[in-house]
A and B are shown apart, each in its own frame.
Chain A
């Protein structure tokens, strides 16, 4: 492409970017009418971008959204409530575990008491 055409290439870009003024458009199109080289160049640029524009926009499968949701970290607000309703038995066990453990610990203490100084205390009571 010759040096003089460089000016027209930048005009072509302006027109293709839809940033050319009416006057600039006129200058370009008047030149294109007389210059085969530039006309071919401009048409080729136009055709190339037209091919891009006409590429199809394929749709994602309907299951896509659900698949995204399945990969999100669990919803913090509902995590305890949801877990509870999904595992009722485990929830009951968990709820009961606290008083149960207290009972077990208490019972152990009592056994230890019986074998240890508690005896002294009992004998003290009897005297």
Chain B
């Protein structure tokens, strides 16, 4: 962990909220991305991100400063998202309908680098389709896949965040990847 972060955490332990604000600025978008892809709704993801930071502040004494702060923070965010999903399972889902992507092959849905304004609609549809597919994954595969492909973390970091062995992380990513492939084929490319 870099030195500036260590200094910030020392200050936070003494109750310095400005130091904490610096850490929030540093990690807020990563935490938001995890929550957003886990729960699939921006407003809920923002609330969860806020809760994750408040928890981190209130439990800063439990943070082991020998490890990366981001690992600890991402674990809080992932666990909160999973808890949220479990709670929501008991409520009837209103957004269970997955947007149709009929007629588009997977390759056609990959956004181009030099994007034209009219391509934005296609990209938005693609995003909704991909988010819909992530949503279909069971929680334990979903968190592994999100940490790997959205946050671009190493298998070792993911194993520390999820507190499971690297081998288990691999299995979850492989199964998640395979499920995504099958479902995406059935939804999009398969029918094209």
Which residue numbers of A lie inside 8 Å of B, CB to CB? 13, 16-17, 41, 44-45, 47-60, 64-65, 67-69, 71-73, 75-77
Q: For the complex, give the distance between the alpha carbons of A55 and B129 in Å.
A: 11
B168 within 8 A of A: no
* Residues of the A chain whose Cβ atoms lie less than 8 Å from the Cβ of B37: 55
Contact in complex: A64, B174 (CB < 8 Å): no
Contact in complex: A54, B33 (CB < 8 Å): no
* Residues of the A chain whose Cβ atoms lie less than 8 Å from the Cβ of B17: 69, 72, 75
Give the size category of B's interface with A. Answer: 35 or more
Q: For the complex, give the distance between the alpha carbons of A63 and B106 in Å.
A: 37
- Main SS at interface, chain B: helix
Tell me the minimal C-beta distance from B146 to chain A in angstroms: 8
B window 127-176: CB within 8 A of A: 127, 130-131, 134, 145, 149-150, 152, 155, 170, 173-174
* Residues of the B chain whose Cβ atoms lie less than 8 Å from the Cβ of A50: 110
Q: Which residue of B lies closest to A61 (CB)?
A: B46
Given A52-B145, A55-B130, A73-B58, is A60 in contact with B111 using a C-beta cutoff of 8 Å?
no
* Residues of the A chain whose Cβ atoms lie less than 8 Å from the Cβ of B28: 60, 64-65
Contact in complex: A54, B110 (CB < 8 Å): yes
Tell me the minimal C-beta distance from B103 to chain A in angstroms: 16
B95 within 8 A of A: no
B78 within 8 A of A: no
